[in-house]
């Protein structure tokens, strides 16, 4: 997608693309990070963001999932969490329209880029504190968002909780995307033996900022199964969840992981192994 500053227009654009995906046979549909609004003006974003109960996109996606009978995953929405802070929240809607899982982005992107571009997610959003997985008919899904992809421990925890497919909806900057995007996503797939699916914002947004795009579907062996560049479009792929078990058998990194100490301080694993 290439979300803009108008929530109603973004919902309409997303709805058209979701319907196109469902018509092509998709049973699970993922949208990018901040699907409902791409707004760099923090004051305006805080002023117009709605709670989960009142947000236009939450209601629209719930009805759309029910209408199409699909698992509809709003990669993330900017939602009001309190009077002072928002949540960058991923919502998974079941085919009956109910919210089957919600995940608030844990790792917030605070950075000053060499280009002069600056990002301070922590000035607007509250971080989440829990890793989340959800059971779909064809796989167990692990949820993450954008900047999370730089923190392997989260993906290890999701895989150890049974996830064989991991979502990474994103709105990556162009400089960091050019340098690291493909490498990071492939690494997370290889390390965990999981499919990695990323729907991404792409191109020049009406606010004057650009995002990297390059939506990807990656196999548990680290192969790029499909890729879309920057134009808004639907990318449909077919996955075989058994490929995750095959990859984990060939390279049993999750089973072979061991606790260890650094300078006498024990490092505890963040999740138990699920076999």
Instruction: Give 36-89 pLDDT, tens digit per residue.
Output: 999 999 999 999 999 999 999 999 999 999 999 999 999 999 999 998 899 999
pLDDT for the residue 274: 42
Within-domain flag for 275 = no
Quick check: helix, strand or coil at residue 211?
A: strand
Instruction: DSSP letter for 1, please.
Output: -
pLDDT at site 259? 86
| Residue 200: CATH number of its domain | 3.60.110.10
pLDDT tens track for 181-214? 999 999 999 999 999 999 999 999 999 999 999 9
When divided into structural domains, the chain yields a total of 1
Q: Is the pLDDT of residue 30 over 70?
A: yes
For the stretch 161-175, pLDDT in tens is 999 999 999 999 999
Q: Is residue 273 domain-resident?
A: no
1: in domain: no
Output the pLDDT for position 267: 63
Q: Is residue 196 part of a domain?
A: yes
Structural domain includes residue 253: yes
Q: Does residue 274 form part of some domain?
A: no
Integer CA distances (angstroms), 98 to 4, 167, 252, 274, in order = 26, 19, 36, 27
In this prediction, residue 32 carries a pLDDT of: 98
Cite the active site residues.
Answer: 33, 105, 146
Q: What is the pLDDT of residues 3-13, one digit of tens each?
A: 999 999 999 99
Domain annotation covers residue 2: no
Percentage of the chain modeled with pLDDT above 70? 96
272 falls within a domain: no
- Whole-Å CA distances, 164 to 26, 33, 216, 264: 18, 21, 16, 34
pLDDT of residue 237: 97
Q: What is the pLDDT of residue 275?
A: 36
Mean pLDDT of the chain: 94
Query: Domain containing 211: what range?
Result: 7-267
């Amino acid at each position: 997608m290439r979300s803009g500053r108008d929530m109603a227009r973004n919902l309409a654009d997303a709805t058209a693309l979701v319907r196109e995906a469902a018509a092509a046979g998709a049973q699970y549909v993922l949208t990018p990070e901040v699907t409902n609004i791409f707004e760099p003006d923090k004051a305006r974003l805080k002023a117009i963001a709605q709670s989960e109960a009142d947000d236009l996109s939450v209601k629209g996606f719930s009805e759309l999932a029910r209408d199409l009978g699909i698992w509809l995953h709003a990669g993330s929405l900017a939602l009001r969490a309190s009077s002072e802070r928002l949540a960058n929240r991923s919502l998974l809607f079941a085919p009956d329209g109910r919210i089957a899982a919600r995940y608030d982005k844990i790792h917030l992107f605070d950075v000053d880029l060499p280009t002069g571009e600056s990002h301070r997610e922590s000035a607007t959003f509250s971080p989440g504190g829990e890793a989340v997985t959800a059971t779909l008919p064809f796989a167990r899904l692990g949820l993450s968002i954008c900047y999370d992809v730089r923190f392997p421990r989260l993906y290890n925890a999701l895989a150890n909780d049974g996830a064989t497919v991991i979502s990474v909806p994103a709105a990556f900057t162009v400089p960091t995307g050019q340098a690291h995007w493909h490498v990071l996503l492939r690494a997370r797939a290889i390390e965990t033996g999981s499919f990695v699916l990323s729907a991404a914002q792409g191109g020049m947004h009406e606010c004057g900022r650009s995002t990297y795009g390059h939506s990807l579907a990656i196999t548990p062996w680290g192969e790029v199964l499909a890729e879309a560049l920057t134009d808004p479009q639907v990318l449909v792929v077919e996955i075989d969840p058994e490929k995750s078990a095959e990859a984990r058998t060939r390279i049993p990194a999750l089973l072979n992981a061991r606790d260890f100490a650094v300078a006498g301080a024990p490092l505890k694993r963040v999740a138990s192994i699920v076999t």
